[in-house]
A = this chain, B = another copy of it.
Amino acid sequence: MRNIRLIIEYDGSRYSGWQRLKNSSETIQGKLENVLSEMVATPIEIIGSGRTDAGVHARGQVANFHTKSPMSIREIHKYMNHYLPQDIVVKEVKEVSERFHSRYNVKSKRYVYYIWNHWIPSAFQRKYSYHLVEKLDIGIMKEAAAKLVGTHDFIGFSSVKKTNKSTTRHIEEITINKEGNMLVFTFTGDGFLYNMVRIMMGTLVKIGLKQMDVSYIDEIFESKTRANAGETLPPQGLFLEEVYY
């Protein structure tokens, strides 16, 4: 069997997220599988690097699937972009080793979160950022972000219910940049728990608005209690930027 790896970009606005659902084909995985299954005239299941939630976007989601189809890589690529809806685009198609697995082999991931931080909203960024009127203090948020970097049990920054699996993750880097009225946050790490980026963002915002002290990050790590962290920021500001193998 051939093993084909895809790099996928999608505007998540009108989807119920990545994962295929029984009663809805309005998921990214569902759309991709439908097109691939038509293409090779046999049911195809794809393996994604991980889920993204409803409304979250991606510039570099990775997925792979197995097939006996003799189609060329270029033919597969053209076929997919021809039949996929315009808000899902396959950026790259590559034949990879049989052993490659989009989820198991992930080394790290990079997410980007956008905040439009001005009292006048943006007509063009409304679906691709979170609009926050109150001015954020970037210096203080950078201090707080530095405390999140490293290896920690992030259960307090996630929506994960009680679990036997490890909730320890390593965050390599967080960057915060201002580009005009847009604040751009990047998170690179070996893995992210359910809602973890959006809850870290909600916590950074609370600190940036001086509603919470920087030292509160330590308390969330210690208490391991999600209720102590900031709110889960909305999905439309979040992009899965790149997956590293």
Q: Which of A10, A57, A81, A86 is the most central at the interface, judged by chain B CB atoms within 10 Å of its CB? A: A86
Interface presence of A4 (CB below 8 A): no
| Residue A91 interfacial (CB < 8 Å) | yes
Name which of A36-44, A115-123, A201-209, A211-219 contacts chain B.
A115-123
B86 touching A10 by the CB < 8 A rule? no
A81 adjacent to B120 (CB under 8 Å):
yes
Q: Is the CB of A87 within 8 A of B121?
A: no
Q: Which of B9, B88, B124 contacts A11 (CB 8 A)?
A: B124
Name, among A9, A88, A89, A123, the residue most crowded by chain B CB atoms within 10 Å (CB to CB).
A123
CA separation between A121 and B120, bound complex, in Å?
Answer: 31
A81 touches B121 (CB 8 A): yes
**Residue-wise interface mask of A (105-122) relative to B, using a CB-CB cutoff of 8 A (1 in contact, 0 not):** 000000000000000111
How far does the Cβ of A176 sit from chain B's closest Cβ, in whole Å?
22
Q: Is A126 an interface residue (CB 8 A)?
A: yes
Nearest residue (CB) in B for A92 is B120
Instruction: Determine the chain B residues whose CB is within 8 A of the CB of A128 once the complex forms.
Output: 124
Contacts of A167-191 to chain B: CB distance below 8 A: none
- Separation of A233 and B213 alpha carbons in the complex (Å): 54
A81 to chain B minimum Cβ distance, whole angstroms, is: 6
**In the complex, are the beta carbons of B126 and A87 less than 8 A apart?**
yes
Specify which of B81, B88, B123 is in contact with A87 (CB 8 Å cutoff): B123
Q: What is the bound-complex CA distance between A156 and B10, given in angstroms?
A: 40
Assess the A88–B123 pair: CB atoms within 8 A.
yes
List B contacts of A77 (CB < 8 A). Answer: 120
Q: Considering the chains assembled together, what is the distance between the CA atoms of A123 and B128 in angstroms?
A: 12
Contact between B86 and A9 (Cβ–Cβ < 8 Å)?
Answer: no
Evaluate contact between A9 and B122: CB separation under 8 angstroms.
yes
What is the chain B residue whose CB lies nearest that of A85?
B123
Q: How far is the CA of A183 from the CA of B9 in the complex (A)?
A: 20
User: Once bound together, how far apart are the Cα atoms of A10 and B81, in whole Å?
Assistant: 29
Q: Contact: A11 with B123, CB < 8 Å?
A: yes
Give bound CA distance, A77 to B91, whole Å: 41
7 contacts between A and B (CB under 8 A): A9-B123, A11-B124, A77-B120, A81-B120, A86-B121, A86-B126, A89-B123
